Structure 1
């Protein structure tokens, strides 16, 4: 069956297209390519916001509508969901450790909480 890679909010996911409606495609999440960024999506990397959001990745088999134009065919082996989640979170954590600023510190606190929530 065809697989796609598509962005949702600030994350990127590998999934299976389930249905198309107009310019949207419903995908079932199979793996995480890029973990969502932490904080306020409207003020990226800013800590001076009313609420610094903890952003979780979409769950395995969760279904989400994405713009069809952004759902690109995915070639290759689809990784295990849990392994892909750990890898994506590790990449984000490494990037944040290199930030060495207030945003990085706040986001790293969220990452620690997410690791516990995800049982990683």
Structure 2
């Protein structure tokens, strides 16, 4: 499939901010973006300030939640790619994505990694797997 040839009903991967999701296109009529309904989480969003990535000493260190199951969001067309394969359950994919993100941060000694790990641990308690 070419970049802009996805259509309503297609399964896709979509990058939104710093997360990656598997979803379904629900609207392909916009020139610059698709509306994507989230079905699973491939990569949990990074924690902290989007404008100052991997910086801990920022005005506000944001806790970034993954998009919710069946939440719909606008995603630029160039950030959407066709998906083939089996879509995992949202709950298991969320749990796995949090575990991977935490694993990447554990043992790192920098302030951003420590704050991010703390934030993910709080999110892990809030998420209902």
Establish whether TM, by shorter chain, passes 0.5: yes
2:58 is the alignment partner of 1:49: yes
Give aligned pairs, total.
Answer: 120
Query: 1:49-74: per-residue Cα shift (whole Å, max 9, x none)?
Result: 00000000000000000011221000
- Which residue in the other structure is 1:8 paired with? 16
Q: Which runs of 5+ in 2 are unaligned?
A: 1-8
- Which residue in the other structure is 2:34 paired with? 25
CA distance in 2, matches of 1:30, 1:98: 31
- Which residue in the other structure is 2:77 paired with? 68
TM-score (norm 1): 0.96
The offset of 1:30, in angstroms, is: 0.1
Query: 1:44-96: per-residue Cα shift (whole Å, max 9, x none)?
Result: 11111000000000000000000112210001000000000001010000011
CA distance in 1, matches of 2:82, 2:43: 16
CA distance in 2, matches of 1:69, 1:27: 13
Instruction: List, as ranges, runs of 4+ consecutive aligned residues in structure 1 with deviation greater than 6 Å.
Output: none
RMSD: 1.0
2:124 is the alignment partner of 1:86: no
Q: Which runs of 5+ in 1 are unaligned?
A: none
TM-score (norm 2): 0.89
The DSSP-based 3-state class of the residue aligned with 1:53 is coil
